[in-house]
Amino acid sequence: MSIRMYYPGGREKALTFSYDDGQIFDRTLVGIFNKYKMKATFHLNSGTLGKEGFITEQEVTELFRGHEISCHSVTHPFLNQLPQGQLINEIWEDRRNLERLAGYPVRGMSYPFGVYDERSLKVSETLGIEYSRTVNATNSFSVPGNFLEWHPTCHHNDNILGKLDSFKNQPPWSSLPLFYIWGHSFEFHRQNNWEIIEVFCSEASGDPNVWYATNIEIKDYIYAVRKLIFNVEQTQVYNPSAITVWLGRNGNILELNPGQTLQL
């Protein structure tokens, strides 16, 4: 009798987006996401807010309402080239600045230029960063082993409609498939290809079997799944987390609330 894990509500799959830099074209992108009820994470450089071509501090809270605000460093440097003090400042102060605007703890990040090293990983974690996205495409729908090296499925220019077809038709043995798309909103403007994301969202929206979530929602849920405690015979499961988890056994989908023990 095998146990199968599900996303919230008993959904089998999840979809998330990640966009960097906070340029003014985020306004158009957010509009598209909201139109199709998508969820996304926006990684911002707090030091560029209000500069020419970038969104302003005053609009951050309302613009990204319903999405996630996340770190991208203060000034977008190559993190692996910075002295320790500057590395700490770039991440810590970006968190501080963004939290003031977001109104909640900012716990995620994406690496500027996609560049990071072991020191970046350790410093980020020490400073309260719980996940950080790379630019290294997996071209798969896998959940990361280490969320501080969260490799996305692909960039939005990499045949996302073709990948959507594969995502919709996952084999029965797949487990918690996750489609993770990243990019920069200014790329749609420069390449005059807004239709890519518009058509994708139209085709991907409204699927009752897909959980549309932000990066931090995905991370929190997967952590809750990994914390589940089963007895040796797998006839009982305890949820020590603060998040409701869904799992299935013998074709039945079960809802396991925080602090609850279920008989399987």
Confidence of residue 123 (pLDDT cuts 50, 70, 90): very high
pLDDT in tens, 229-239: 999 999 999 99
CATH class label, 3-225: alpha beta
- Measured distance CA(61)–CA(81) in Å, rounded: 32
Residue 253 gets the label, from left (phi > 0), alpha (psi -120 to 50) or beta, of: beta
| C-alpha dihedral, 100 to 224 to 154 to 182, nearest 10° | -10
Q: What is the pLDDT of residue 1?
A: 56
| CA–CA separation, 69 and 57 (whole Å) | 12
Q: What is the pLDDT of residue 251?
A: 83
The answer on pLDDT for 2 being more than 90 is no
Percent above pLDDT 70 for the chain: 100
Q: What is the pLDDT of residues 47-89, one digit of tens each?
A: 999 999 999 999 999 999 999 999 999 999 999 999 999 999 9
The pTM of the full predicted model, rounded to 2 decimals, is 0.97
- Write the pLDDT tens digit of every residue in 196-232: 999 999 999 999 999 999 999 999 999 999 999 999 9
Q: Where in the chain is the domain with CATH 3.20.20.370?
A: 3-225
